[in-house]
Amino acid sequence: MVFIFESHPVQYKAPVYQWLQKLRPDVFRVIYVTDCSVRGYQDREFGERVAWDKPLLSGYQYRVLNNERGVPLSGFRSLTGRGVYQMLKTERPRAVLFSQFLYEADAVAYLSCLWLGIPIWIRHETQDEAFPRPFWKKLLRGVVYRLVYRGVSHAFYLGQLSREHLLRHGIPPERMSRSPYCAVSLPENITIEAKQQERARVREQLGVTSDEKLVLFSGKFIPKKNPGLILRALQSMTADEVSKLKIVFVGSGELGAELERLATPFVNRVHFAGFVNQSKITGYYLAADILVLPSRRAGETWGLVVNEALQAGCAVVMTDSVGCHREFGAWERVRVIPDGDVGACAQAILGLTAFPHSFDWCAADMERYSVRAAAESLLQQIEKMENPPAVSLGSQ
């Protein structure tokens, strides 16, 4: 049995475990320190109470430790390591997979594995270009990662920047394998007809005509995401260019009032949909023609909304601060712009309006970033551990 150590149920990780259970039942168990994301919690960045409405705790084995201290997910000490060592000592998993090192519980579990001789695996989104850092901080950070990774027996990299980070900090290629970052934005086996119907329904609800292009922002209204760049790009366009666009903001957060102020001159062109939960977000991706992710270099290690949008057939504009620009930046309907460049954002949006809408323009390429692909990579390592290759002794 392999343990997967998680802080809390996450809407883009649970589907991987559900797929893994389909591929090979009962070879793993997910250990959640808290289930606050299912029960509901106050998300500081959304600025409201969030409880994901997709089934995150079904279809696989799991255990919830309920090791909360104060407000869960609010800092290092908010998730404790109470009982973790004893659990690992008693149940003796064959390996423990970590997806973050953010909380006290993670540190206790990691050190317990070292003490008990349990192999440590990692699959986390750390990369080295997410923040600008002074030299001394890069040096200190590098030393810490090298020390932590000395205890890691296998690492799964999520993308190119993830792989480079692991190599740079001491994990050789033979101790790593690819397990792509992935998300689910569409129901399984959804038909073209169902997509078309949902697209038409949401566009009608938003007042988008057939000759208008819907430009979507989906995420938290926070400085890191920099959603205001889209409205500033709109200001730089001609009235005729603006008249062919409809801008929809899905989400909430501290920049909400500023966005509404910037949108005032475009009252008939901009719509704020508010926070939209997972069960309803699919319609917005299907309705959209272009997704824009204008993040600053402030911790956007990947940008999973890009995966979701590409699965639905959207074109994408993102800044070079978004981690996945290294994966998708060369694709036909993807544009990568400099961080904060208003003119480049405007030109990228206008340039992508020339493409006719297509649900499946990149469907074949997105198979490499599917939930199934991520689950299969985990299973390969589990089976490799169960059936290690025979060691040749050579001639005597």
**pLDDT at residue 185 is higher than 90:** no
Mean pLDDT for all residues in the chain: 93
Report whether 291 contacts 305 (CB < 8 A): yes
**pLDDT tens digits along 12-42:** 999 999 999 999 998 999 999 999 988 876 6
Rounded distance between C-alpha atoms, residue 110 and residue 79, angstroms: 14
Question: Token pair of 162, please?
Answer: 């993830």
**CATH code for the part of the protein at 2-182+370-386:** 3.40.50.2000
2-182+370-386 and 192-364 have identical folds: yes
Question: Token pair of 242, please?
Answer: 């603006």
Question: Token pair of 226, please?
Answer: 């920099």
Compute φ and ψ for 190, nearest 5 degrees. Answer: -70, 135
Average pLDDT over residues 48-72: 86
**pLDDT at residue 376 is higher than 80:** yes
Q: Which residues contact 242 (CB under 8 A, 6 or more apart)?
A: 234, 266, 269
DSSP label at 74?
S
Rounded distance between C-alpha atoms, residue 125 and residue 115, angstroms: 25
Rounded distance between C-alpha atoms, residue 386 and residue 153, angstroms: 15
171: burial class by Cβ within 10 Å (0-12, 13-18, 19+)? buried
Longest dimension (CA), the chain: 84
Q: Residues of the chain with pLDDT > 70: what percent?
A: 95
Question: Token pair of 292, please?
Answer: 């824009």
**pLDDT at residue 370 is higher than 90:** yes
Q: Calculate the CA dihedral of residues 154, 158, 160, 163 and round it to 10 degrees.
A: -20
DSSP E strands in 201-314: the ranges are 213-218, 245-250, 270-274, 290-293
Fold type of domain 192-364: Rossmann fold (3.40.50)
- The reported pLDDT for the residue numbered 111 is 98
CA 363 from centroid of its chain's CA atoms: 19
Q: Residue 390 — pLDDT band, cuts 50, 70, 90? A: low
**pLDDT at residue 203 is higher than 60:** yes
DSSP E strands in the chain: the ranges are 2-6, 28-32, 41-43, 48-50, 62-64, 95-98, 120-122, 152-157, 176-178, 213-218, 245-250, 270-274, 290-293, 315-319, 334-337
Instruction: Sheet with 334-337: list strands edge to edge.
Output: 270-274, 245-250, 213-218, 290-293, 315-319, 334-337
Average pLDDT over residues 354-367: 95
DSSP label at 223?
T
SS3 for 382?
helix
- The reported pLDDT for the residue numbered 329 is 96
Average pLDDT over residues 356-383: 95
Closest CA to 157 of 169, 148, 147, 146: 169
Candidate from 36-40, 76-80, 131-135 with smallest mean pLDDT: 36-40
- The reported pLDDT for the residue numbered 38 is 87
**pLDDT at residue 103 is higher than 80:** yes
Q: Which amino acid is at 171?
A: I
Q: Which residues contact 214 (CB under 8 A, 6 or more apart)?
A: 203, 206, 208, 245, 246, 248, 287, 288, 289, 290
**pLDDT tens digits along 142-163:** 999 999 999 999 999 999 999 9
Write down the domain spans for the chain. 2-182+370-386, 192-364
CA 198 from centroid of its chain's CA atoms: 24
Q: Which residues contact 267 (CB under 8 A, 6 or more apart)?
A: none
Report whether 160 contacts 327 (CB < 8 A): yes
**pLDDT tens digits along 289-337:** 999 999 999 999 999 999 999 999 999 999 999 999 999 999 999 999 9
Candidate from 35-39, 76-80, 250-254 with smallest mean pLDDT: 35-39
Q: Check the CA dihedral 115-116-117-120 and report its sign.
A: negative
Q: Residue 52 — pLDDT band, cuts 50, 70, 90? A: low
Rounded distance between C-alpha atoms, residue 317 and residue 355, angstroms: 13
**pLDDT at residue 45 is higher than 70:** no
Question: Token pair of 4, please?
Answer: 């997967």
- The reported pLDDT for the residue numbered 54 is 77
**pLDDT at residue 339 is higher than 70:** yes
Q: Residues of the chain with pLDDT > 90: what percent?
A: 87
**pLDDT at residue 388 is higher than 90:** no
- The reported pLDDT for the residue numbered 82 is 97
Report the DSSP pairing between strands 48-50 and 41-43. antiparallel
Given its phi and psi angles, is residue 117 left (phi above 0), alpha (psi -120 to 50 degrees) or beta?
Answer: left
**pLDDT at residue 208 is higher than 60:** yes
**pLDDT at residue 396 is higher than 50:** no
CA 336 from centroid of its chain's CA atoms: 18
pTM value is 0.92
